[in-house]
Amino acid sequence: MAEPDYIEDDNPELIKPQKLINPVKISRNHQDLHRELLMNQKRGLAPQNKPELQKVMEKRKRDQVIKQKEEEAQKKKSDLEIELLKRQQKLEQLELEKQKIQEEQENAPEFVKVKGNLRRTGQEMAEVQDS
């Protein structure tokens, strides 16, 4: 690299440029860290820099293990909880069946409704006469 012309001139009026001081390199902590890194590199103990993909995969694996543990904890339910869930499901099924029957009756033609009413009244009359 060529040096500038004004450095060769010994003109006292010109201000000679000085190299700027890097405050990071002057700091004691930086020097100690740099010295330690050089020593470790000579010994072959360079810090292991994992690729970004490997870091992401390890994080996903850790998250997955944590999620599995949480699911296992939820699966371990007491007998009471299991029985309550079964009863709740039965009640929901009965409710759905009732709704379906009501919808079928509402959507049925008029003559089917009348026929059902006649059967009920006929059965009620038979019960009254038998009593």
Reported pTM: 0.31
- CB-hemisphere CA count at 13 Å for 77? 11
Torsion-angle region of residue 44: left (phi > 0), alpha (psi -120 to 50) or beta? left
Reported as a single tens digit per residue, the pLDDT across 34-91 is: 898 888 888 877 667 777 888 889 999 999 999 999 888 777 877 888 899 899 999 9
Q: How far apart are CA 118 and CA 111, in angstroms?
A: 10
Cα distances (Å, whole numbers) of residue 41 to 35, 47, 101 = 10, 8, 80
Gap between the Cα atoms of 83 and 89, Å rounded: 10
